[in-house]
A and B are shown apart, each in its own frame.
Chain A
Amino acid sequence: MTKEIRLLSTSAILGYGFPEASLKAGMARNPDMIGVDGGSVDPGPHYLGSGKPFCSPIAIRRDLKLMLHAAIAAKIPLVIGTCGGAGGEPHLQLVADMARDIAREDGLHFKMALIHAEQSKDEIRRRNAAGRIRGLAHQPNLTDAVIDRSSRIVGMMGPEPFIEALDNGAQVVLAGRGSDPAPWAAAAIRAQLPPAPAWYAGKMLECGATPSIPKGHDCLFVTVREDHVECEPTNPARRCTPLSIANHSLHENASPIHHIEPGGMLDTSACRFDAVSDRAVRISGMTWNPATQYTVKLEGVELAGYRAICVAGTRDPLLIGRLDNFLDSVRAEVATKAANFGATPDTYQLGIRVYGRDGVMGVREPVCDSLGHELGFVIEVVHRDSQEMAGAVLGMARANMLHTDFPGRLCREGNMAFPFSPSDIDVGPVYRFSVYHVAEVDNPTELFPIEYETV
């Protein structure tokens, strides 16, 4: 019999939701493993910095409960990568606690592995000093100061820690930050299948039914064999077509043909896409080029300050006609008055986003000669040191957007329509990416300790 492994992914991210019927249809096809990717760097630096989950715990719990029941009933592994959105320690512990709670309430029993991805600053400093860390995307070399300032640093694991956890008999594997395809690549490589189709399968499964049409958050069933991969959504309302699959190679990658992963590069330039039915596609021709040096991507963020925002709009054509001068006046007033209560200009950044002009594209906006009959504003202050001071400067900016006079002004009671009371919102700590590097490692598992427990 041809060697194969059958893999079921429930959605693009744990907590995005999926139809229960799609999970049942997938389970009826006897998968060898079910799983889901838990996160992404795409929602920005906040989640890694704050330790909060990207999806709500309520939504995560709903998905996790269904998946746990399905996996335990079928006696197959459940594997979840990048738990909690960012894959740091608080994110992993949130999902682990949830799994323990669900198991206790519902009488489920299993061996669980937690694979940690959060890195100690001492360890990163030591590796950096040894010259084994370099920047990605033109990032400067790491310094001790940047490492010390970081709020949290995670390493992005490849398939090897997942393989180790599964080899040690874990039925439920919850991992911190991992390469999105890694849990799936692990299952296929562990089944003695070659890395090229293993990684390709992972690339499809990490996004659930996204490689199908109509696109949506739903389940995808993938069969991996020696020289090809077959993809089919389990919801009969969706189909994979050669074009929908081919296009998925474009997703969130700098190159559509060269996909750099821990340990090597998946090359999709010679892929063939053949329909095996009107809903399933067979992909062949992918190749895997092993790297001479195994590297692990590092992601880290640092605190950039505290944000407060206010939403407002204007319908006044006289103000819209001299907007830039008006905003300059507001900024000048805010600078003076905020300095009077101790917020000097070097301690905060004031942003006034103008929706209806260039709110979406900023200086890359090519349309510069048309302003609508109304404009929306998001007024924003990020203060370096405190939420209280951010709120104080924002309040001053809001008051001056409302009341600052301008030549020819008729709307003497106020320039801005505020949709909310209160108008000002404390957003909380603001983070920025500070570490986006790769570390050379001797062993793919050395940055990712695994703990086992019986639940």
Chain B
Amino acid sequence: MATIRETARVCKSKNAGPFELTIDVVFDNADIFNRVKATGVLCPDLFARLYNVPAEHVLFTPYDAAFAFKATFPRLVPAGEFGDTDVYGCQQHAPLLDVDLPI
């Protein structure tokens, strides 16, 4: 077992427009990427559970050419609206860091 924090090259979040948040997990090379992909751990359900959104609201795309996985889902509150905690959305990645990858 290894955590995303130990395995990934990049784990980051950002706005994708004012209403959506997008999270990227990027690996160093095709070998690690394919092993992670084969575990099936990174999937819409994972993001749904960690971020408390319905799985059908998660757009999940593996991007083989960049050894990356991307998940996009609605923000809690539109950027800059009352109650927003993170206008750029760039500090919402932490719950992923300790996810275990059985590779």
Contact = CB atoms under 8 A, between A and B. Distances in A.
Contacts of B18: 41, 44-45, 137, 433, 436
A296 interface: no
B26 A250 contact: yes
Nearest to B52: A364
A364 B82 contact: no
Given A250-B70, A255-B61, A257-B63, A360 B85 contact: yes
Given A137-B17, A361-B94, A250 B87 contact: no
Contact of B26 (A247, A358, A366): A247
Contact of B19 (A46, A138, A269): A138
Nearest to B19: A137
B92 A304 contact: no
B17 A432 contact: no
Contacts of B85: 353, 358-362
B5 interface: no
A138 B85 CA distance: 21
Contacts of B61: 255-257
A30 interface: no
A351 B82 contact: yes
Contacts of A255: 59, 61, 70, 72
B72 to A, nearest CB: 4
Contacts of A46: 80
B1 interface: no
A257 B88 CA distance: 22
Given A137-B19, A247-B10, A250-B63, A256 B95 contact: no
Nearest to B15: A42
B81 to A, nearest CB: 5
Contacts of A243: 9, 66-67
Contacts of B100: none
Contact of B88 (A43, A136, A251, A432): A43
A255 B23 CA distance: 10
A423 interface: no
B76 A364 contact: yes
B14 interface: yes
B88 A42 contact: yes
Interface in B8-38: 9-10, 14-20, 22, 24, 26
Contacts of B83: 349, 351, 362
B85 to A, nearest CB: 5
Contacts of A362: 76-77, 83, 85
A363 interface: yes
Contacts of B79: 41-42, 44-45, 433
A13 B79 CA distance: 20
B10 to A, nearest CB: 7
B65 A43 contact: no
Interface string A237-253: 00000010011011111
Interface string A426-455: 000011110010000000000000000000
B4 interface: no
A114 interface: no
Given A137-B17, A252-B14, A430 B82 contact: yes
B86 A360 contact: yes
Contacts of A252: 14-17, 22
Contacts of A41: 17-18, 79
A382 interface: yes
A136 B80 contact: no
Contacts of A353: 85
B76 A246 contact: no
Nearest to A305: B82
B52 to A, nearest CB: 6
Interface centre among B65, B85, B91, B94, by most chain A C-beta atoms within 10 angstroms, is B65
Contacts of B59: 254-255
Contacts of A66: none
Contacts of A139: 19
Interface in A220-234: none
B103 interface: no
Interface centre among B15, B24, B80, B91, by most chain A C-beta atoms within 10 angstroms, is B80
Interface string A342-364: 00000001010100001111111
Nearest to B77: A362
A271 interface: yes
B42 interface: no
A288 interface: no
11 contacts: A44-B87, A243-B67, A247-B24, A250-B22, A250-B68, A250-B70, A254-B59, A255-B70, A362-B77, A364-B95, A432-B80
Given A252-B14, A430-B82, 7 more contacts: A139-B19, A246-B68, A254-B16, A272-B65, A363-B52, A433-B19, A436-B17
Interface of A: 41-46, 136-139, 243, 246-247, 249-257, 268-273, 304, 349, 351, 353, 358-364, 366, 382, 430-433, 436
